[in-house]
């Protein structure tokens, strides 16, 4: 029941504040109002409009986190956004994957795995991160990348599937 209330609170905040332009004070205010919807949420959380988060009660957010507009985060398998992370617009964090049962994905048991985005990491626009992936601290994921395996600390990755482009 608490999970449902947290989800409804998040949806209410997004519905009532979504029409306000995404200026910094509004991003901060929206993030402040949405804090109770999460398992844990640090200070200075900024949340842009259009973002959809399912199972928010399984999501932990650190300090100074920014979530860009129209992101989709599925927390069923747990999601951790460590301090100082930034999610670019239209980023997808899918902590749940379909499995096949009797030749069909429709009724296969879902595979749920935790996603962690490390401290100081950044995702560009339209990034997809699949279940079970850990993005190392200080790493950047290039726009449009699909991350299917762990990203080491302090790396730049990009592509489909994402590969290491540069080590910092």
Q: Domain containing 75 — which CATH number? A: 2.160.10.10
- What residues are paired with 32 via a beta bridge? none
Alpha helix (H) residue ranges in 18-164: 24-34
DSSP state of 104: B
| Rounded distance between C-alpha atoms, residue 97 and residue 123, angstroms | 21
Overall average pLDDT of the 20-36 stretch:
96
* CB within 8 Å of 151: residues ≥ 6 apart: 133, 134, 135, 136, 139, 141, 157, 162, 164
**Catalytic status, residue 98:** yes
109: domain range?
Answer: 2-167
Total of domains in the chain = 1
Confidence at residue 1, expressed as pLDDT on a 0 to 100 scale: 75
Q: Residue 101 pLDDT > 90, yes or no?
A: no
Comparison of pLDDT for 110 and 119, the residue scoring more: 119
For residue 133, give the nearest of 159, 160, 114 by alpha carbon: 114
- What residues are paired with 166 via a beta bridge? 156
pTM more than 0.85: yes
Strands of 115-117's sheet in order across: 40-41, 59-61, 79-81, 115-117, 134-135
**List 5, 16, 40, 98, catalytic entry:** 98
| Rounded distance between C-alpha atoms, residue 54 and residue 4, angstroms | 10
Q: Residue 123 pLDDT > 90, yes or no?
A: yes
């Amino acid at each position: 029941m608490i999970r449902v209330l947290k989800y409804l609170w998040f949806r209410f905040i997004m519905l009532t504040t979504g029409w306000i332009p995404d200026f910094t004070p509004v991003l901060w205010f929206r993030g402040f109002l949405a804090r109770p919807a999460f398992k844990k949420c640090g200070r200075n959380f900024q949340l842009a409009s259009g973002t959809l988060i399912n199972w928010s009660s399984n999501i932990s957010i650190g300090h100074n986190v920014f979530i860009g507009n129209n992101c989709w985060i599925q927390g069923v398998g747990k999601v951790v956004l460590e301090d100082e992370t930034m999610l670019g617009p239209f980023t997808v964090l899918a902590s749940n994957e379909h499995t096949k049962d009797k030749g069909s994905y429709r009724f296969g048991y879902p595979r749920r795995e935790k996603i962690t985005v490390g401290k100081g990491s950044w995702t560009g626009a339209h990034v997809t991160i699949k279940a079970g992936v850990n993005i190392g601290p200080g790493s950047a994921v290039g726009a449009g990348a699909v991350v299917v395996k762990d990203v080491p600390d302090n790396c730049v990755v990009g592509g489909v599937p994402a590969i290491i482009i540069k080590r910092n």
